[in-house]
Amino acid sequence: MPLLTLDKVEVKYSDVILALRGVALEVDQGGIVAIMGSNGAGKSTTLKAISGLLKVEQGKVTDGTIEFDGKRIENGDAEKVARMGIIQILEGRRVLELLTVEENLKAGGYIFSGGSRLARDLDMVYGYFPILKQLRNQDSPYLSGGEQQMLVIGRALMSHPRLMLVDEASLGLAPLLIEEVFRILKRINEEEKVSILLVEQNARAALSIARLGYVIENGRIVHGGTAEQLKNDPDVQRHYLGMGEAGELKGHGRARR
């Protein structure tokens, strides 16, 4: 049984704007799955439908089902969903600006595990992100973009997620930092057994670590398959991997629509 299943999910905002149109996808236990597409395609809405954050934006699932570990969670309370082990890392590196690096990390530990394992969990996070240990007393707004991205991933990891929803981890980062962040996400998946659902415009980065991928356009899934199948799909190459019809590289792998 997949850990997460979306079956023909429809989402509307304010009971008027149709944002998702029959989205169906699966995430296996221990898997990494990528959702790719251009701005406004429905990627972030898909994550919010899973995490329960749609309500904040007057959105709701109006048709279809979302199951996590065999339990229905569509239109669920965001806090209850998080306590089930689904943690969303929002786009834009939402650090807690009044707190230091270590205080940000501890916040994740206190909220979801009661702080009983803080010391051990901090050591775990610092093992993945040594730079955060060096900067543990630094005020979080003064970190670089890459350091802030590492911090929000580390804070999510402090809550011992079963499924991590990662929204645009590469946004605004230099290529070398993108490579490092995705390498660490792959390590977390393998070593901590955390399933990951990635939302990414940077299809090349997403498919470098994902086992399965989906392409969403105008609220609909239009392509799906293994990472290798998508890499070799001419339409995906042309529109999302920056490849021309003859296979030549064009651009830098961002969505071109």
* Contact between 215 and 38 (Cβ < 8 Å): no
- Give the tens place of pLDDT for each residue, 15-36: 999 999 999 999 999 999 999 9
Question: 1-85+197-257: which CATH topology?
Answer: Rossmann fold (3.40.50)
DSSP string, 13-63: ETTTEEEEEEEEEEE-TT-EEEEE--TTSSHHHHHHHHHTGGGGGTEEEEE
- Give the tens place of pLDDT for each residue, 97-156: 889 999 999 998 876 655 668 889 999 999 999 999 999 999 999 999 999 999 999 999
What mean pLDDT is predicted for residues 152-165?
A: 95
Q: Where are the domains of the chain?
A: 1-85+197-257
Chain CA centroid to CA 42, Å: 13
State if pTM tops 0.85: yes
